[in-house]
Structures are given as C-alpha cells and as structure tokens.
Amino acid sequence: MDLKAYLNAKRTLVDSFLRSYFRRRFSPPLLREAMLYSLMAGGKRLRPILCLASYEACGKDSKDIIKYASALELIHTYSLIHDDLPSMDNDDLRRGKPTSHKVYGEAIAILAGDGLLTEAFRLLSEESPKIKTQALLKGINEVASGAGIKGMVAGQAQDIISEDATPDGKTLSFIHRHKTGALITSSVRLGAILAAASKSRLDALTHYAKNLGLAFQIVDDILDIKGSTEDLGKPAGSDLRKKKMTYPALYGIEESRKKAERLIEGALGSLRGFPKSADPLREIARYVLIRNN
C-alpha cells in the first residue's frame, strides 16, 4: 500500500473537518484565533489517523468517525500549548512557528488550551447514527483516562518534576509511557471501542499501540539529537540543553535504536491475526523507524 497517500488522504479529512468545525465565529475572537493558530500549525494528525486506521482494522469505514478522531487532535494540541508555556518547557518555537504564548500571551495560551481540551469532550459526546451511545460513552472514558491524571497529565507532571534529576530508567519509562504513550494508546483504543471490537482484538490493538507509542518517543529523542533544526521545526538538541531525561542520554543512540526496532517488531506481531484492513497500522509502525521529523 502507498502509506504516504493514505496519510495525506486521512490528514485532509481531519483538517477539513477541523476547519469547518471552527468556521463559526464566537467571542472573544482572540480566543478562537489562538485556538486555530495552534490547531492549524501543520500537525501530522498522527493520533486521529491512528484512531481511523484502528477502526478500519476492525473492518469499518473510517468516514463514520472523523469527528471523534479529530477530537484527539484538539487534545494533542492543547497539550502542546500548555507544555510550551514558560513555567513548563519554555519553548519559543513549535513546528517552526512562534509558540502560542509568544503570540497571544500566557493567559490566552492557557485558555486556548483549556478550550481545546473541553471542546474535545463536547465533540466526543455528540451523538451519531453510526455509533452506539454506549460505545461513545466508553470512548469518552478511554480518552479521559489516557489524557488525564493516570495518563498524559501524569507524564508531563513527572517530566517537569524530573528536570535536573539524575536520569534513571524507571522514571524515564514512566514519563514516556504516560506523556506520549498514553494518548497514542487511547487513540488506537478509541477506534476499536467505537467499532465495538471484541476483547481479544482490543487487547491486541492495545499491545500494538503501547509498543508504537514508546518506539515513537524513543525515535523522537534520537531525532532531537541527530535531526536538523529545519526538519524538526524546533532547535535540535533542545532536550539536552533542558536536561530532559531521554533514551539516548541513558542508553546511547545505538541501544535506543535497537529498542525502538524491537518495540516495532512487537507492534507488528500483535497485528498477526488481523486482516488486510490493518495494513495502514502495519505501515505506520514501520514508518516510525524511518521518519525524520
């Protein structure tokens, strides 16, 4: 299959949903502008695409759930805005553009994040003729779990608390599995839950997602060291300067790369029982190892 064409097609669907969803104006205009600024800053839409691909892997037509998949991008975008704040990672650039608080000030940046997070749940709670209300409710619970205090928020808090601390494998694993891993896992699981997948399929997809999420983050750590500022859209080596715990810092680049490869093998293995409609998930897993941004 042509992964690039697949990713482009799905990204276009998500982008046009988001654009039309935020077409209606609301007050204050500055809040809307700040939300759109970060939402339309050129994200890869990885989380929505994983959700759509997981739904397809369960034999369904992903057009049914564009709205729900897109909600994941609102949550991802909120997390980036808040992570970039001066009191958090204090980043001035994101995807090559000034970060939200640099453009709109801290107060509006915080509120834009709060608004995106809340709006995600508004979207997820809209009824749809194709999806059972019980599946939606389970889906909301899944996303709130992955994004919240036992998921993404816990990971970011641990990351902040661990700055300048002596790196150790257990803490690093906690941060990665929660800060990025949890929402990636919930994205894949949301697709399966909305498709009313069997327990064994849900378990297999969960295993896939956990492996993928950790591999994704390890490759991110490696790219931060080896990538160019142009490719990354942020200064290369910024983890190092901020004394962030990373896999390469703890295990070296070579060992980190091997770990990522083993994780992707594990991800592919868990899809063994799935039909051809799981090919996008398979190709995405392979792509994680060769991406350069």
Backbone angles phi, psi at 24, to 5 degrees: -60, 130
The 10 Å Cβ neighbour count of residue 236 is 16
The verdict on 158 binding its own copies (CB under 8 A) reads yes
The verdict on 103 binding its own copies (CB under 8 A) reads no
Max Cα-Cα span within the chain: 52
- Pick 61 or 126: Cβ nearer its own copies: 126
Residues 110 to 139: which contact its own copies by CB under 8 A? 110-111, 113-115, 117-119, 121-122, 124-127, 133-134, 136-138
Task: For the CB of residue 107, give the shortest distance to its own copies in the complex, in Å.
Answer: 5
Task: For the CB of residue 26, give the shortest distance to its own copies in the complex, in Å.
Answer: 6
The verdict on 236 binding its own copies (CB under 8 A) reads no
The verdict on 149 binding its own copies (CB under 8 A) reads yes
Task: For the CB of residue 140, give the shortest distance to its own copies in the complex, in Å.
Answer: 4
The verdict on 145 binding its own copies (CB under 8 A) reads yes
User: Quick one: which segment of 6-14, 24-32, 259-267, 271-279 binds its own copies (CB under 8 A)?
Assistant: 24-32
Amino acid at position 214, single letter: L
Q: Cα separation of 75 and 114, whole Å? A: 9
Burial of 285 (0-12, 13-18, 19+ CB in 10 A): buried
Task: For the CB of residue 121, give the shortest distance to its own copies in the complex, in Å.
Answer: 4
- Please select the residue that binds its own copies; options are 3, 31, 103, 196, rule is CB under 8 A: 31
Q: Which residues bind its own copies (CB under 8 A)?
A: 26-28, 30-32, 35, 78, 82, 85, 87-88, 105-108, 110-111, 113-115, 117-119, 121-122, 124-127, 133-134, 136-138, 140-141, 144-145, 147-150, 153-154, 156-158, 160-161, 174
